Amino acid sequence: MISILFVCLGNICRSPMAEGIFLKILEREHVLNRFEVDSAGLLDYHEGELADSRMRFHASKRGYNLIHRSRPVVKADLDKFDWIIGMDDQNIRGLKQLASTAQLSKIHKMTDFCIEINADLVPDPYYDGDQGFENVINLLEDACEGLYKAIIAGKL
C-alpha cells in the first residue's frame, strides 16, 4: 500500500481538490486498491466541513465529486503516510515543524511534480474569483499526473 497525504492551510480548497484529482487518476489506472489517499490542513478552523462550495462547484464542472471533510494534520500523519505533499512554501514550513528529522524526506511541494505548467506554488484561491479556482485545478491536474508518474517510476 502506498499512502499519500495532501496538505494545505484550511483543507477546504487546494488539498481536497488534489485528493479528488489523484483518486481519479488512480481510478483511471485501475490501481485504487494499491493506494491510500487523504488530505489535511495546517489549520483546524474548518474541521468537519466539506470543501468550499466554490471549489466543489468548479470541481464538479470537470467531473470531480469532492466528499472529503476538513481535518487538521497531526504529528501521527507524518509517521503514517509515505508521501506528504504541501501546496506552497508556508505549508512546507508548517509540515517540517511537525516532522522528525527522519520524516523530513517524506515532505514534497506539489508544484515540484508539474509537467506542463511552470509554477512554484499552488496559490490559495480563498479570496480569489472563479479564475483562481480554475487555476488551482489546472495546476493540480498537471502536478498530480507528474506525482503519479514519479511514484510509479519509483522516483520518490
**Residues in binding contact with ligand 4NP, number by CB under 6 A:** 12
111 near ligand 4NP, rule: CB under 6 A: no
Instruction: State the minimum distance, in angstroms, from the CB of residue 30 to ligand 4NP.
Output: 29
13 near ligand 4NP, rule: CB under 6 A: yes
- Residues 6+ positions from 90 with CB-CB distance below 8 Å: 9
Tell me which of 4, 5, 12, 114 binds ligand 4NP, using CB under 6 A: 12
Q: Which of 35, 50, 69, 52 lies closest to 147 in space, CA to CA? A: 35
Q: Determine how many CB atoms are found less than 10 A away from the CB of residue 119.
A: 14
Which residue of the set 8, 13, 114, 144 is catalytic?
Answer: 8
Helix (H, G, I), strand (E, B) or coil at 2: strand
106 near ligand 4NP, rule: CB under 6 A: no
The interface with ligand 4NP within residues 39-78 (CB under 6 A) comprises: 41, 43, 45
Which residue of the set 13, 14, 38, 56 is catalytic?
Answer: 14
Q: Which of 55, 49, 91 lies closest to 73 in space, CA to CA? A: 91
Q: Which of 69, 73, 67, 6 lies closest to 35 in space, CA to CA? A: 6
- Among all residues, which ones are annotated catalytic? 8, 14, 124
Residues that bind ligand 4NP (CB under 6 A): 8-14, 41, 43, 45, 124, 126
